[in-house]
A and B are shown apart, each in its own frame.
Chain A
């Protein structure tokens, strides 16, 4: 391991961003992790103080700081609420990269990120094998939500109620497509995203269905890679760089007006993080692509002009909407998904308390700190159930996994859907 001075020198790259925090502590009011633990090192102010401490060599515990930094959902609630405008996620991602570069990635993360995620084709094959064997080890527990749990107690799964891998991933069903603009005069490229591809292919099918109905052209490149956020979250800049290069090349193969995704996390990663974290040679291309990236709801409402149907049929379903952090806090997208739900025939929207409080998923956070994640998720589930809705809609497949787990464990009969699925379902009913 290099010396503390070397680490302090690396940390100095962050100095101008770190100094912006004035330690006012307002982040305590919005941090979902701090809400559970009440421990200063779990809130942004504490973590920023730790990074400043390392930089000024006030103490010597980089492992401890890395561990503390990992106890963060990267939900961005703190930066969205920060009086001083501290770019918290950007600082944390850079700091994780510096610290993991300094100490080395833990072996398990190295295997998953570099051995699998960095190689999109291999990652696809492995998850397909997983999908074939999963029924041997798991059993369905909630038909409405579609969750399963382990057949025998497993320390790895800790009693989770999880959404299973799709039998056939989306990219097998629709490998690629390049269709010109129709009556809308618009053409989009679709970034599918790992979770939609492998767990929620119906979201991608629904997106295709809606885009076709509205006369929007579509470019769907083959062999898409992960957006890279799991790698970046662990501080693995190498894998992130590989995935970024891979994806930029895929999307350079055709023309389109807007890059859309139906995954809040992919959208915010491409829009916010690709340009800031890209290495020099990719920066310009990443910036250009980021500028034309939109969430699917945002695209439908703001570009295509989707409106609620004029003569509304009676509402069969009550739906409540959870704001994914990566849409509301990162991209300020919150009206548009609600407008999409209003446009779906048969659904009536009822707001829950604190719809923009994080669900507690945070990607690998859920794997590493399931107890905290579960505590946050249980609060969300209770607020969802209090609305009496029969459907929960949200614009992020990661939130869908977490909320499915929490609702299923609570024994709730509430379906977990993406707004685009509700909209597509209306089209299907209409056309048949």
Chain B
């Protein structure tokens, strides 16, 4: 139990100014960006050094206090919602980029570094950190690694997992564990880095992260193609891949989203189009230009009703403005927005979009769908008002059905938002009873008192 003398001990470790338990502070760390019920923690602590971070973790475990680590709190599956009277460790006291190594192309960062700030810092040196989750302007690297965050560049560049070369983290007793290295190859010990990526704060607390960097592509080209049917758009995606062209981003918007964006931004989008594809190629200039004309020809031959190729940076911006506006445009329509991220093998996208439309009709709901066509990661976005309890029940049933459909097609519950609280009860459906048991045993062995972000991913059978 959290009491005054333990609070004093936390204050002694991190300093008076970095431990907060005013009613107002506690309330503002009770939620994240997911549509789940808020839970009030008992204390917020912000360690500013690696040593005090370790001591904080140790003190939590010694007193059996549940601990939830929080970066920017942009989690979309409830992973940063704390436990009642639990401890929240805020990472924005540790936001230094410790090293950007141009010769060996890696960066070493503290967990609180903001994703977009790292991306800008490495870009200034002609290097590239590709993972670009939608919240990158505020999200932290610690959070991205803990959730295995994705983004728009998954098809060509992969996701956060593909850029983590090593992590050091505190185990539940506050021992510093190191895995991975600054080298491309590393074959020593268990692959604990792999285990920690996507572990959602349930196995340890990150202290430092080593990230792989790659050369910044020299050239970029974007285009937008409009289709009269979802099938044609999807066949075009398949044809692009079949022709061994790998765009950096390959996004799609459905008719509902196109109309919402047009109402919102008056960008001159065709509101009667069934679907729109946004494609960006990057790499060596000659290759990009050649691939761009091949993609353009493919779109034409697959029956695109119009194609717009960006000729300069300003036009490229206009192409992406439509995609960037998608979430805002949808968000303005109703008070509550539930952003799902069920993902299917990319060839099943037309079937999945059709299934989502059927589900929307079945439960009489408004669902706009957009997302990463290139990697099968869709964002069915349910627009509702949580205060309307009858409709909210239908929303929950619709989510169940969306997950069922995705699994039936060989897909997954979550492409990039993580399991957290929102999807934990579905995990066994996607995996197996054995998977939950194995994960529970792992969790119990590493965290016997079950204090590391308990209840996230699955309910550990202790």
Q: What secondary structure prevails in chain B residues at the interface with A?
A: loop
B46 and A41 contacting across the interface, CB-CB below 8 Å: no
Q: Is residue B216 contacting chain A, with contact meaning CB distance below 8 A?
A: no
Q: Is residue A303 contacting chain B, with contact meaning CB distance below 8 A?
A: no
Q: Is residue B271 contacting chain A, with contact meaning CB distance below 8 A?
A: no
Chain B residues whose CB sits within 8 angstroms of the CB of A29 once the complex forms? 114, 116, 137-138
A83 and B138 contacting across the interface, CB-CB below 8 Å: no
Partner of A23, one of B24, B31, B137: B31
Chain A residues whose CB sits within 8 angstroms of the CB of B23 once the complex forms? 59-61, 64
Q: Given known contacts A19-B387, A25-B135, A26-B135, is B33 in contact with A39 (CB within 8 Å)?
A: no
A23 and B25 contacting across the interface, CB-CB below 8 Å: no
A25 and B138 contacting across the interface, CB-CB below 8 Å: yes
Query: Bound state CA distance, A19 and B333, in angstroms?
Result: 12
From residue A140, how far is it (CB to closest CB) to chain B in Å?
A: 36
Partner of A41, one of B28, B40, B331: B28
Q: Is residue B434 contacting chain A, with contact meaning CB distance below 8 A?
A: no
Query: Bound state CA distance, A58 and B38, in angstroms?
Result: 10
Which of B27, B72, B138 is the most central at the interface, judged by chain A CB atoms within 10 Å of its CB?
B27
B188-238 contacts to A, CB under 8 A, are: none
Chain A residues whose CB sits within 8 angstroms of the CB of B40 once the complex forms? 59
Chain B residues whose CB sits within 8 angstroms of the CB of A61 once the complex forms? 22-24
Q: Is residue A24 contacting chain B, with contact meaning CB distance below 8 A?
A: yes
B28-42 contacts to A, CB under 8 A, are: 28-33, 38, 40
A339-380 contacts to B, CB under 8 A, are: none
A84 and B93 contacting across the interface, CB-CB below 8 Å: no
B46 and A49 contacting across the interface, CB-CB below 8 Å: no
Q: Is residue B74 contacting chain A, with contact meaning CB distance below 8 A?
A: yes
Q: Given known contacts A29-B137, A38-B90, A85-B332, is B24 in contact with A64 (CB within 8 Å)?
A: yes
Chain A residues whose CB sits within 8 angstroms of the CB of B20 once the complex forms? 39
Query: Bound state CA distance, A60 and B38, in angstroms?
Result: 16
B28 and A50 contacting across the interface, CB-CB below 8 Å: yes
Q: Is residue A40 contacting chain B, with contact meaning CB distance below 8 A?
A: yes
Chain B residues whose CB sits within 8 angstroms of the CB of A23 once the complex forms? 31-33, 73
A81-103 contacts to B, CB under 8 A, are: 83-85
Return the CB mask of B2-37 against A: 1 if under 8 Å, else 0: 000000000000000000101111111111110000
Q: Is residue B337 contacting chain A, with contact meaning CB distance below 8 A?
A: yes
Which of A38, A40, A67 is the most central at the interface, judged by chain B CB atoms within 10 Å of its CB?
A40
Query: Bound state CA distance, A83 and B28, in angstroms?
Result: 20
Q: How large is the interface on B (under 10, 10 to 19, 20 to 34, 35 or more residues)?
A: 35 or more
From residue A15, how far is it (CB to closest CB) to chain B in Å?
A: 9
Chain A residues whose CB sits within 8 angstroms of the CB of B28 once the complex forms? 40-41, 46, 49-50
B415-430 contacts to A, CB under 8 A, are: none
B33 and A24 contacting across the interface, CB-CB below 8 Å: yes
From residue A221, how far is it (CB to closest CB) to chain B in Å?
A: 39
Chain A residues whose CB sits within 8 angstroms of the CB of B72 once the complex forms? 25, 28
Query: Bound state CA distance, A185 and B239, in angstroms?
Result: 63
From residue B105, how far is it (CB to closest CB) to chain A in Å?
A: 27
Q: Given known contacts A22-B336, A25-B72, A84-B332, is B27 in contact with A59 (CB within 8 Å)?
A: yes
Chain B residues whose CB sits within 8 angstroms of the CB of A19 once the complex forms? 335-336, 385, 387
Query: Bound state CA distance, A61 and B40, in angstroms?
Result: 15
Return the CB mask of A2-44 against B: 1 if under 8 Å, else 0: 0000000000000000011011111011000000001111000
Query: Bound state CA distance, A39 and B18, in angstroms?
Result: 10
From residue B190, how far is it (CB to closest CB) to chain A in Å?
A: 34
B27 and A24 contacting across the interface, CB-CB below 8 Å: no
Query: Bound state CA distance, A65 and B22, in angstroms?
Result: 11
Chain A residues whose CB sits within 8 angstroms of the CB of B116 once the complex forms? 29
Q: Given known contacts A24-B74, A25-B33, A40-B73, is B27 in contact with A50 (CB within 8 Å)?
A: yes
Q: Is residue A287 contacting chain B, with contact meaning CB distance below 8 A?
A: no
Q: Given known contacts A50-B27, A53-B27, is B93 in contact with A38 (CB within 8 Å)?
A: yes
Q: Is residue A409 contacting chain B, with contact meaning CB distance below 8 A?
A: no
B27 and A58 contacting across the interface, CB-CB below 8 Å: yes
Chain B residues whose CB sits within 8 angstroms of the CB of A59 once the complex forms? 23, 26-27, 40
Q: Is residue B440 contacting chain A, with contact meaning CB distance below 8 A?
A: no
Chain A residues whose CB sits within 8 angstroms of the CB of B138 once the complex forms? 25-26, 28-29
Query: Bound state CA distance, A61 and B21, in angstroms?
Result: 13
Chain B residues whose CB sits within 8 angstroms of the CB of A26 once the complex forms? 135, 137-138
Chain A residues whose CB sits within 8 angstroms of the CB of B337 once the complex forms? 22, 84
Q: Given known contacts A24-B33, A29-B138, A53-B27, is B328 in contact with A84 (CB within 8 Å)?
A: yes
B137 and A83 contacting across the interface, CB-CB below 8 Å: no
A-B contact pairs, 24 of them (CB 8 A): A19-B385, A19-B387, A22-B336, A25-B135, A26-B137, A29-B114, A38-B93, A39-B20, A40-B28, A40-B29, A41-B24, A41-B28, A53-B27, A59-B23, A59-B26, A61-B23, A83-B327, A83-B328, A84-B328, A84-B332, A84-B337, A85-B328, A85-B331, A85-B332
Q: 9 smallest A-B Cβ distances: which pairs?
A: A46-B28, A83-B328, A40-B28, A29-B137, A19-B335, A38-B92, A61-B23, A64-B24, A84-B331
Q: A22-B336, A24-B135, A29-B137 are in contact. List 14 more A-B contacts (CB 8 A).
A: A22-B33, A22-B337, A25-B135, A38-B46, A38-B90, A39-B20, A40-B25, A41-B28, A50-B24, A50-B28, A64-B23, A64-B24, A68-B24, A83-B328
Residues of B within 8 A of A (CB): 20, 22-33, 38, 40, 46, 72-74, 90, 92-93, 114, 116, 135, 137-138, 327-328, 331-332, 335-337, 385, 387
